[in-house]
Amino acid sequence: MPALDDWPGELRRDPPPSSPTYAVRAPLAAWLRREAAARPGPYRVLDVGCGVKPYYPFFAGAASEYVGVDVVENPAADLQGAVESLPVDDASFDLVLCLQVLEHANDPPQAVRELRRVIAPGGRVLASTHGVQVYHPAPVDLWRWTHAGLDRLFRENASWSSVSVTPASGTTACLGMLVSIYVDLLSRRAKAPAVGRALVGGINRAAAAIDRRSGDLREPRSGSLIANFHVVAEP
Res 211 pLDDT > 70: yes
Average pLDDT over residues 75-93: 98
Confidence category of residue 1, pLDDT binned at 50, 70, 90:
low
- C-alpha separations of 219 from 26, 111, 212, 216 in Å: 18, 27, 11, 5
Angle 171-189/193-213 helices, nearest 10 degrees?
A: 180
Q: Which residues of 160-184 are buried (b: 16+ CB within 10 A; e: fewer)?
A: beebebbbbbbbbbbbbbbbbbebb
pLDDT at 195 over 70: yes
Give residue 126's pLDDT. Answer: 98
DSSP 120: E
Q: Is the pLDDT of residue 10 over 90?
A: yes
Could you give all domains of the chain from N- to C-terminal order, each with its CATH number?
4-171+220-234 (3.40.50.150)
Does the pLDDT value for residue 108 go beyond 70? yes
The mean predicted confidence, pLDDT, of the chain is: 97
pLDDT above 90: residue 139: no
As a residue count, the chain comes to 235
Report how far residue 181's alpha carbon sits from residue 42's, in angstroms, rounded to the nearest whole number.
40
- pLDDT tens track for 29-81: 999 999 999 998 999 999 999 999 999 999 999 999 999 999 999 999 999 99
pLDDT for the residue numbered 199: 98
Question: Cβ–Cβ contacts within 10 Å for residue 205, how many?
Answer: 14
Share of the chain above pLDDT 70, in %: 100
Q: Please tell me the pTM assigned to this model.
A: 0.96
- Average of per-residue pLDDT across 182-190: 98
